[in-house]
Chain A
Amino acid sequence: MIQIESMTKLYQMGDSVVRALDGVDLQIEQAEFVGITGASGSGKSTLMHLIGCLDRPTQGAYRLAGRRVDQLADRRLAKIRSEYIGFVFQTFNLVNRTSALDNVRLPLIYARRHSTRKLAMRALERVGLARRAGHKPSELSGGERQRVAIARALVNNPPLLLADEPTGNLDSRTGEQILELFHGLHADGVTIVLVTHEMAMAAQAQRVIRMRDGRIVEDRKVDEAFRQELLASGMKPVGPSAVRDQSIAAAARE
């Protein structure tokens, strides 16, 4: 599904050049559920943006579903996002002035699809929010908003779902519900890439990729032992995420 070879991404920040990604090689198969973790600034968000075709790498090759996409024009990238990729964000990113239904219709409209209303309703049903279709985001709870966002991500039936800290703004119970939804989608054959700094979240995936300074420092299948390890490290959420991540990294090293 995803083939990335020695991908580098440089940013100009004032006078200095920031190496956000530094020669990343990554393969993700169809229907995998992958967690990407790392401290803030580790490059995990940059990687997600590149996987999501929101940006182009400075160097390296990216094949999505067998097709080179790393140097495509904006127009083509937009088309690929429309057809292949669904995004879920930490802050939901719903358009506040329109109803849940209209938010879910957006990708259909941009994909020039017909009967957008029916399809959007179906997507809302899939996340259990059909009854709230007419409500605006401000009238919905955080969990409901994220479910609307997931419905929006799914409505075009993309094979790839990218989630950036999808439970970051939710309480743990609501977060679990969202994760259950992800598991359901995964079972339906959707490839899921979940970016999170929470180990407990990452432990939900089949495979965890850990990043630091723009490189992949660990890429490992999640077995029972690893899951326990991750959960254990995830149980001590103290201080800002960077500090926590470092303590986790330290714990992992032991």
Chain B
Amino acid sequence: MFTLQILMMAIRGLRANLLRSLLATLGVIIGVGAVISAMSILEGTQRDIVERFESLGSDAITVYPATAKSGGRTIGLVQTLTVEDADALRDPRRCPNVADAAPEVSGGTSIKYFSRNIEATVLGTNEAYADMLSYKVESGRFFTRDEVITEQKVAALGYKVARDLFGNAPALGFPVKIRGISFRVIAVMEKKGDIGFRNVDSQVMIPVTTAMSRLFGIRHVHAISVRAEGPEKVDTAIAEIKRELRRQHDIRLRSGLKDDFLIFSQEEAREQFRDVTTIFKVVLYSIAGISLVVGGIGIMNIMLVSVTERTREIGVRKAVGAQRWDILWQFLIEAGIISLLGGANGVGLGYAMTDLLEKTTRVIETFTTPMVVAWALGMAIMTGILSGIYPAYKASRLDPVEALRYE
């Protein structure tokens, strides 16, 4: 009952100086708003990336080329992975725990169908690629092993590429020109969206051999996607890949040579990514903390003014029997309400800002967790109360006689 009445008093005190109370909350509003939007963006991005990792499957392994060294000197961006490497990894006698492997070479390029011309990513790979990613053909068929070996000029179009080039008209059997070379469309893929960090809908898949010799003029592949026989086989599969690639590349560790490839499992990649986001989180939380401290100073400032201005009122309250605690409480609650209001409005602002960012950029993914909101609100209230302590203490210690004399 008593606390309720003190609360009512505090609310009336704040309402009497509405503009000032609002200004006092401003720092907290901005602080909390900033925390929430920053954390939402971070969280959203994190979730997006984790989702991408997961879309690859936890049994996915990627092999990248590393810089090759010759006599202790780096000899540039030497590409060390080949189609033969991918084939070796696919051999069940050599790597029994590898389910399948697909080499990848890719590049952005323009694709033409008569007068229509669009930009797309061309991916050279082998016949295992689509199955490995559970990426299905909508019409036609994916290219075969023979077509890869014989460097056929055939193409499987991603959903969006097919749409953009052919509209609703059938695409199968028609020729498209990639860098001036004519490819026959043999497949239109289902609509899939993102797999990993790649939007497969705006991708054109052709045999890796054709891509290397005809389009890009290279002898090496950019990466090899590997799938283990199961999530629990990832570690053994990695060991097999290492052994096999060392054998293929004639790397003898004992003679001081280093691996010229890097292997990432989904788990490892995700962990590395987590480490990075943790750093971001720490930085963001610190910035947020600073902005809340600034907000707290704002509250303290306003509360000190308020205490000075109401010195006489405090004297009267004491004269009619208020204890120090009563005065302390009243001002602490005022500070608490200011910060709570600031926090609540800050949450609103944070939501509005993330929403705006998401809608205007269309790239930034945001996700606001209840934890972040709770944390921001809690910090705001803490700040308010902490910054209210000194003014409230000052008010409670006022000498009643002095306070009553105050003009």
Partner-B contacts on A (CB < 8 A): 49, 52, 54-55, 74-75, 78-79, 81-83, 87, 89, 93-98, 102, 105-107, 109-112, 114, 116, 152-153, 156
Q: Report which of A95, A102, A116 forms a contact with B313, defined as CB distance below 8 A.
A: A95
B9 partner residues in chain A, CB cutoff 8 A: 98, 109
A110–B13 Cα gap in the complex (Å)?
A: 17
Q: Please, which residues of chain A bring their CB within 8 A of the CB of B313?
A: 93, 95
Q: Are B2 and A97 neighbours in the complex by a CB distance under 8 Å? A: no
A-chain residues with CB within 8 Å of residue B5 when the two chains form the complex: 105, 109, 116
Most chain A CB inside 10 Å of its own CB: which residue of B1, B316, B317: B316
Asked if residues A55 and B320 are in contact (CB atoms below 8 Å), the reply is no
Contacts of B323 in A (CB 8 A): 74-75, 78-79, 110
| A114, B5: Cα distance in complex, Å | 11
Check A110–B1 contact: CB distance below 8 A: no
Evaluate contact between B320 and A49: CB separation under 8 angstroms: no
Query: Across the interface, which residues of A come within 8 angstroms of B281, CB to CB?
Result: none
The yes or no answer to B321 lying at the interface (CB within 8 A) is yes
Give Cα A137–Cα B5 distance, bound, in whole angstroms. 20
Instruction: Knowing A75-B324, A111-B321, A114-B1 are in contact, say whether A93-B316 is a contact too (CB < 8 A).
Output: yes
Most chain A Cβ neighbours within 10 Å, of B15, B319, B320, B323: B320
**Contact yes or no, B404 A54, CB < 8 A:** yes
Give the shortest distance, in Å, between A94 (CB) and chain B (any CB): 8
Chain B residues near A107 (CB, 8 Å)? 320-321
Contacts of A152 in B (CB 8 A): 320
Residue of A nearest to B14 (CB): A97
Chain B 1-30 per-residue mask, 1 if CB under 8 angstroms from chain A, else 0: 110011001001101100000000000000
**Chain A residues with CB under 8 A of B15:** 97
User: Which chain B residues numbered 72 to 112 have a C-beta less than 8 Å away from chain A?
Assistant: none
CA distance A94 to B310 in the complex (A): 12
B328 to chain A, nearest CB (A): 12
Q: A93-B312, A109-B9, A114-B1 are in contact. List 16 more A-B contacts (CB 8 A).
A: A55-B400, A74-B324, A87-B320, A93-B315, A93-B319, A95-B317, A97-B15, A98-B9, A106-B320, A107-B321, A109-B2, A109-B5, A110-B320, A110-B326, A112-B2, A152-B320
